[in-house]
Amino acid sequence: MAVKKMKIGAIFLLIYVFSHHVYAEISEVKSDDIAKIKGARFIDASSFTSCLNHSIEGATCVPFETFLDEQGELSSFRDIQWALGTVSIGNEDPLFVFSKNIEDTYAIAGLFHLAGVRHVYVWEGNPEKLFSFLQAGFGKTRSIVRETYFSNPIRIQHLIHSQNLNDKKYQDWSTVNVERPIRSEKNTILIGNDMKKIFSHFTSLILKSRKHILLSVEAMTVPYGRG
């Protein structure tokens, strides 16, 4: 399937420090609780070449670059949700995302979480150790047609229109470019043009219990969650 492209400006992630929210479902899997991913759909976020040659047997190869055009601009979330159907993901299906690079893992996990996947598990350890627990083999490409109808709502509570970023209620927030280390514990605005880095940081901050994250874009074909 040729995923339609949409123009997108720099994304700004606005991070609030709140207590755990039940709808923010991204969690890590370690070697001692591997059983929790039983029944999950396996997604290998490594490059196509790497995934097709060595992965968990039957895992679907979905690198983050699947959803970028030549200019690095992101596909619309409508088309990302359509693509979830080509991986046979239903509304209640959990995902288990892994790769040979943690940034790749986090980027796909964050993107699919925002697109409405109910629960996303991520593997943070050595991939070879994961292969020792599960059957190693070859990854597979996703279907060229939609096999399931994925219709969960996009998590619009994480979205804010970019024209509202200068609102007074955000004047005390810390602005950090994703190309630099994130050291601030304050409410933080992440800025940057590298979509993979932005979504990777998105997941990283969720896993650190910084739950209420607002994401602002220049244009998006979904309703905006907050003004």
For 139, how many CA atoms within 13 A lie in the half-sphere containing its CB?
27
Q: Which of 52, 64, 49, 57 is nearest to 3 (CA)?
A: 64
Low-confidence ranges of the chain (pLDDT < 70): 1-24, 160-161, 174-175, 182-186, 210-212, 215-227
104 phi/psi in degrees, rounded to 5:
-60, -45
Q: Largest Cα–Cα distance in the chain? A: 54
186 DSSP assignment = S
CATH number at residue 60: 3.40.250.10
Residue 215 lies in a domain: no
Residue 74 belongs to a domain = yes
Q: What is the DSSP string of 79-129?
A: HHHHHHHTTT--TT--EEEE-SSHHHHHHHHHHHHHTT-S-EEEE-S-HHH
Quote the pLDDT of residue 7.
44
In a domain, 186, yes or no: no
Tokens at 90, concatenated: 């239903």
pLDDT on residue 218? 52
**Residue-level pLDDT at 10:** 46
Are 192 and 198 contacting, i.e. CB atoms less than 8 angstroms apart? yes
Residue 8: the pLDDT is 43
170, exposed or middle or buried, with CB in 10 Å at 0-12, 13-18, 19+?
Answer: middle
Residue 103 in any domain: the answer is yes
Cα gap 156→43, rounded to integer Å:
24
30 lies in some domain: yes
Classify residue 49: in a domain, yes or no. yes
Query: What is the predicted pLDDT for the residue at 62?
Result: 95
Residue 173 forms part of a structural domain: no
Which helix (H) or strand (E) segment is 131 a member of?
helix 127-133
The number of folded domains in the chain is: 1
Structural domain boundaries, residue 43 = 25-137
Give the model's pLDDT for residue 216.
Answer: 64
Number of residues that this document lists for the chain: 227
With respect to residue 183, please indicate whether it lies within any of the assigned structural domains. Answer: no
- CA distances 65 to 73, 177, 219, Å, are 10, 21, 20
